[in-house]
Structure 1
Amino acid sequence: MTDNPLKSIAEWRDRPGPSGIPSICTAHPMAIEAAMRCTAPTPLPLLIEATCNQVNQDGGYTGMTPADFRRFVEEIAARTGFPLERLILGGDHLGPNPWKSLPADQAMAKAEVMIRAFAAAGFTKLHLDCSMGCAGEPVALDDAQTAARAARLAAAAEEARPQGGIAPVYVIGTEVPIPGGAMEEIEGLELTSPGAALATFQVHCRAFADAGQQDAFTRVVGLVVQPGVEFGNHNVIDYDPAAARDLSAVLAQMPGVVFEAHSTDYQTRGALTALVRDGFAILKVGPGLTFVLREALYGLDAIAEELFPGRRQRSLRQATEAVMLEAPGNWDRYYHGPEAERALQRHFSYSDRIRYYWPQPGAERAVDELFALLDGVELPETLIAQYLGGLYPEVRAGRLPPRARDLALAAVERLAQDYVAACCS
């Protein structure tokens, strides 16, 4: 049986090579391709994760089961030339969250089916998240109940994983940030206390033992904590190493474990590097990737209007607006204020809830139409400077072809490079 490359992640910073790993949390094919292109020249494996809302036994908002998602990623790898042996698939926030409106016994039964599907499909990095209450329960559960449910899901995963395959590693933790970022502007954060982090680890150790999952607990490699990073619709809270010093120090009491940092989107390269140095070795990024991709697509959309005015019935921006208004469920309760403010947030919020709509037929057609219109066209440098200014220096230097698809991929690669650099420093 091949060892899981993440099993020893706590030892990485004590030997030559990478000290951490980015966790690419997206189901967008162009974002995944860009991450592959960025990672390929490095010594890093590529960790791609799907959340319980994106991918589950019912299809999630992508329409994919875990087995479907695996095929989807492997097809992108084949086109890109990325070696499958360097690919790690993970499941994020695996627990009852998609069904938390149901009674706990029903929601947990569905969560068990889900994690079995992830494990059976060969996902080898599993984040157990049972921190949320179900129907009739408090919004957040206490550590003991959360840990007991996590151990129950670990047992289901252990039963379902392919025999002779790579044994999965697990990530635990009860101080889990909101998936996709906060829902409004944030002014400050309360970091996880060192005592709370240690208590969470210890209570999970006992819960796994009570469930007969001692072997699975030896493969717990990560603990989700709040290191003081988050983003809202309009602002970002940056990492402060001094504030996290005591939290970082408690890792010495949890051998074999690193911290997993959620919501690292929009952190600077310097902040990401400091996070890895301080033991937050798994850096999760999701909305940030599709945010910069949306920026690039909207820039290309504006260039297309300059070059081919009136050629399309409506622009990409107009098409995505229509798709979002037709199905407001993924943004309506997250964006507040006057209609003009909500319209601004639909397209430009850091939480990037537009990412839920790219798989929709209307948005997909509009993107395909945009690329078809610009296919084979060398875009003028002056328009790239105007609408895709961050990519202009690379185009001007001759390092980046002035073509639509290359520019869109480069926008995501530029962001992913910050994560690769932070983990390989």
Structure 2
Amino acid sequence: MTDNPLQDIAQWRGRPGPSGIPSICTAHPMAIEAAMRCTLPTELPLLIEATCNQVNQDGGYTGMTPEDFRVFVEKIATRIGFPADRLILGGDHLGPNPWKDQPADQAMEKAEVMIRAYAAAGFTKLHLDCSMGCAGEAVALDDTETAARAARLAAAAEDARPEGGLPPVYIIGTEVPIPGGAMEEIEGLELTSPDAALTTYEVHREAFTQAGLQEAFSRVIGLVVQPGVEFGNHNVIGYDPDAAQDLSNALPRMAGLVYEAHSTDYQTREALAALVADGFAILKVGPGLTFVLREALYGLDAIAEELFPGARAHRLRDVMEASMQAAPKNWDRYYHGSDAERALQRHFSYSDRIRYYWPDPAARDAVAELFDLLGDRDLPETLIGQYLGALYADVRAGRLAPRANDLALAAVERLTQDYIFACGGA
């Protein structure tokens, strides 16, 4: 049986080539295509992850099951010529979170069905997250119960994985905000202590052993910790290597493991590289990808209005506002302040909860109309400088075609390149 390409990620730092890997956490087809285009010329495989709320047996907020998501990604790969054997699919926060308002036994049964679906669909990187309490339980469970439930889900995944398929690798731990990110401005963070990280590791090892899953535990490759990075609606907490040094120094005491860093969106290229150098070898990015894509789409929206005033019944931004107002559940409880402040957050928050609305039919139609209107024509450099300034230099230098589709993809590629550079894949 061929080993999972991530099985030995803890040894990558000691050999030539990449020393970490970006984790692309998005279901937006343009963001996925951009990540594929960036990764293709590198030595890295491409890790694409879906969350429990985004993709599950009930469809999640994307309407996709794990099998649907796999087919969706593979179709994009086929279209642009990205090799299927370089794709790694992952599942994030797999546990009872989507059903935590139900009693634990019911929620865990549904979590088992979900992780079986992920494993059966060929997802080979699985984050086990059973830390949240269900109906009638504390908000956060203790390490022992969390680990016991994680082992239960690992057993389900092992049972459901396809015969002859790659054995999955597992991620444990969950010292991050709930799926979807923080809900407010972040003033400070408490880093995971080395003792807490070691305890999480040992308690999970014991739980797997008691469940007869020693071999599966040998495929635990990562531990989710809080290294001191996060973003809220308005601000970003940057990585401080000095503050994380004790946590980094504890990693060699967990043989074969790396740290997985969540919420690395909006970190600088230098901060991302420092994270990888300190052992945070898996860098997860999600809202940041669709944030820069939204910037590009809104810039193109403005360019279209300059070139073809009144040609559309509604501008893209107006369509997105109407979609969010018609279905406020994905932003209403996350955004605070006056009506004007909440209006600003709907479109420009770092949390990027507008990403939930791109799959809406009205949004898809508006984006399609925008690209149809702009077509394959070369857009004026002066308008690119005005509304897509970050891409202007590449257009002027001839490195980037001044066309709508190329510009939108390039916005995501620029961000993805920061992650590839940080992981040593450039």
**TM class, shorter-chain normalised?**
over 0.9
Q: Secondary structure at the match of 1:351?
A: coil
Equivalent position of 2:120 in the other structure: 120
Q: What CA distance in whole angstroms lies between the structure 2 residues aligned with 1:285 and 1:271?
A: 14
Equivalent position of 1:374 in the other structure: 374
Is the contact made by 2:298 and 2:316 (CA closer than 8 Å) also made in structure 1? yes
Equivalent position of 1:11 in the other structure: 11
Please give the per-residue CA displacement for 1:125-178, whole angstroms capped at 9, x wherever unaligned: 000000100000011101000000000000000000011110000000032333
Please give the per-residue CA displacement for 1:256-277, whole angstroms capped at 9, x wherever unaligned: 0000000000000000000000
Equivalent position of 1:260 in the other structure: 260
Q: Say if 2:231 is the partner of 1:231.
A: yes
Q: Secondary structure at the match of 1:107?
A: helix
Please give the per-residue CA displacement for 1:35-82, whole angstroms capped at 9, x wherever unaligned: 000000100000000000110000000000000000000000001110
Is the contact made by 1:52 and 1:60 (CA closer than 8 Å) also made in structure 2? yes
Q: Secondary structure at the match of 1:126?
A: strand
Please give the per-residue CA displacement for 1:291-343, whole angstroms capped at 9, x wherever unaligned: 00000000000000000000000000000000000000000000011100000
Letter in 2 for 1:85: D
Q: How does the TM-score come out when normalised to structure 2? A: 0.99
Letter in 2 for 1:284: K
Q: How does the TM-score come out when normalised to structure 1? A: 0.99
Letter in 1 for 2:73: V
Please give the per-residue CA displacement for 1:238-284, whole angstroms capped at 9, x wherever unaligned: 00000000000111100000000000000000000000000000000
Bigger CA drift: 364-373 or 175-184? 175-184
Letter in 2 for 1:63: G
Q: Secondary structure at the match of 2:56?
A: coil
Equivalent position of 2:403 in the other structure: 403
Q: What CA distance in whole angstroms lies between the structure 2 residues aligned with 1:421 and 1:355?
A: 25
Is the contact made by 1:180 and 1:286 (CA closer than 8 Å) also made in structure 2? no
Letter in 1 for 2:255: P
Q: What CA distance in whole angstroms lies between the structure 2 residues aligned with 1:264 and 1:217?
A: 26
Q: Secondary structure at the match of 1:50?
A: strand
Aligned residue pairs total: 425
Q: CA deviation at 1:211?
A: 1.0
Q: What CA distance in whole angstroms lies between the structure 2 residues aligned with 1:159 and 1:377?
A: 53
Bigger CA drift: 181-190 or 385-394? 181-190
Within 5 Å, give how 1:276-315 maps onto structure 2: 276-315=276-315
Q: What CA distance in whole angstroms lies between the structure 1 residues aligned with 2:318 and 2:377?
A: 23
Within 5 Å, give how 1:331-342 maps onto structure 2: 331-342=331-342
Q: What CA distance in whole angstroms lies between the structure 1 residues aligned with 2:349 and 2:220?
A: 34
Q: Say if 2:81 is the partner of 1:91.
A: no
Flag as ranges the 4+ runs of structure 1 deviating above 3 A: none
Unaligned stretches of 5+ residues in structure 2: none
Is the contact made by 1:143 and 1:174 (CA closer than 8 Å) also made in structure 2? no
Q: Say if 2:192 is the partner of 1:204.
A: no
CA-atom RMSD in angstroms: 0.6
Please give the per-residue CA displacement for 1:173-198, whole angstroms capped at 9, x wherever unaligned: 03233323211111110000000000
Q: Secondary structure at the match of 1:222?
A: strand
Is the contact made by 1:384 and 1:392 (CA closer than 8 Å) also made in structure 2? yes
Unaligned stretches of 5+ residues in structure 1: none
Equivalent position of 2:412 in the other structure: 412
Aligned-pair identity in percent equals 80
Equivalent position of 1:53 in the other structure: 53
Q: Secondary structure at the match of 1:162?
A: coil
Is the contact made by 2:221 and 2:258 (CA closer than 8 Å) also made in structure 1? yes
Q: CA deviation at 1:376?
A: 2.0
Letter in 1 for 2:270: G
Q: Secondary structure at the match of 2:423?
A: helix
